[in-house]
């Protein structure tokens, strides 16, 4: 039986092309400042590295992990993107998402687990008007660990006080979110954005009712 549902955030609870652009620009700016190079050179280097990493893994690699490959400390990257943009300028309340989460919360503990930092995560949750719906919000700041490291998933389940096999992990990226979650025994659900969460009540409760 599923007792907890853990959601990835970016690309799962919301999709937004403007925010994707801002993350990219913030990444270019971070490398440019770190290496004291022009922004266009930083952009070329990052996108070339992302292409290389994708070729190796078979999946698109987020900017956080790309910058990590340049030996840029995660805390430096987070400080830069916090200052660079505010997701509240681009997001707004999603009535259907909130209604779905309210229904799910009646019988499950809900959590968010993201590689993003605490400040940007709080901004997103505030913009979507989802305050108070999550029992726990796990960010990089929680344990200073990044997905897809298995320890992040193990610690999140432990903090929720629930066995991994009783957790459902919901995310949009197989290699970063779903594969490691499944590896430690969590059930998984792949989504392409909040639209796929709107009918989760029937998916989750329906499966449980058949047991």
What number is the average pLDDT over the span 68-82? 96
Residue (of 6, 4, 9, 7) closest to 161 by Cα position: 4
pTM: 0.92
Of 112-121, 152-161, 199-208, the least confident? 199-208
> pLDDT tens digits for 161-205?
999 999 999 999 999 999 999 999 999 999 999 999 998 877 665
What number is the average pLDDT over the span 78-105? 96
pLDDT at 210 over 70: no
Integer CA distances (angstroms), 26 to 19, 60, 102, 107, 132, in order: 10, 18, 33, 39, 29
Tell how far CA 140 is from the center of its chain. Answer: 10
Both tokens of 130, joined, read: 């989802």
> pLDDT tens digits for 38-61?
999 999 999 999 999 999 988 888
> pLDDT tens digits for 128-140?
999 999 999 999 9
- Cα dihedral across residues 127, 132, 138, 142: positive or negative: positive
> pLDDT tens digits for 86-96?
999 999 999 99
Cβ-in-10-Å burial (0-12, 13-18, 19+) of 58 comes to: exposed
Mean pLDDT of the chain: 94
Residue-level pLDDT at 120? 98
- Indicate the DSSP class of residue 171: E
């Amino acid at each position: 039986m599923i007792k907890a549902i853990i959601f990835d955030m970016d690309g799962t609870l919301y999709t937004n092309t403007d925010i994707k652009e801002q993350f990219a620009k913030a990444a270019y700016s971070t490398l440019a400042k770190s290496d004291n190079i022009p922004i266009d050179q930083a952009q070329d280097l990052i996108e070339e590295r992302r292409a290389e990493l994708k070729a190796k893994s078979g999946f698109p690699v987020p900017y956080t992990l790309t910058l990590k490959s340049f030996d840029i400390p995660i805390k430096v990257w987070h400080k830069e993107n916090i200052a660079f943009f505010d997701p509240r300028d681009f997001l707004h309340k999603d009535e259907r998402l909130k209604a779905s989460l309210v229904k799910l919360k009646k019988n499950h503990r809900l959590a968010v687990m993201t590689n993003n930092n605490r400040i940007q995560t709080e901004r997103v949750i505030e913009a979507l008007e989802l305050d108070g719906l999550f029992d726990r919000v796990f960010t990089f700041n929680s344990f200073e660990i990044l997905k897809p490291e298995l320890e992040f998933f193990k610690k999140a389940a432990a903090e929720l006080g629930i066995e991994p096999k009783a957790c459902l992990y919901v995310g949009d990226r197989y290699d970063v979110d779903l594969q490691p979650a499944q590896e430690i025994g969590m059930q998984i659900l792949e989504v392409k954005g909040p639209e796929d969460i709107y009918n989760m009540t029937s998916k989750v409760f329906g499966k449980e009712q058949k047991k």
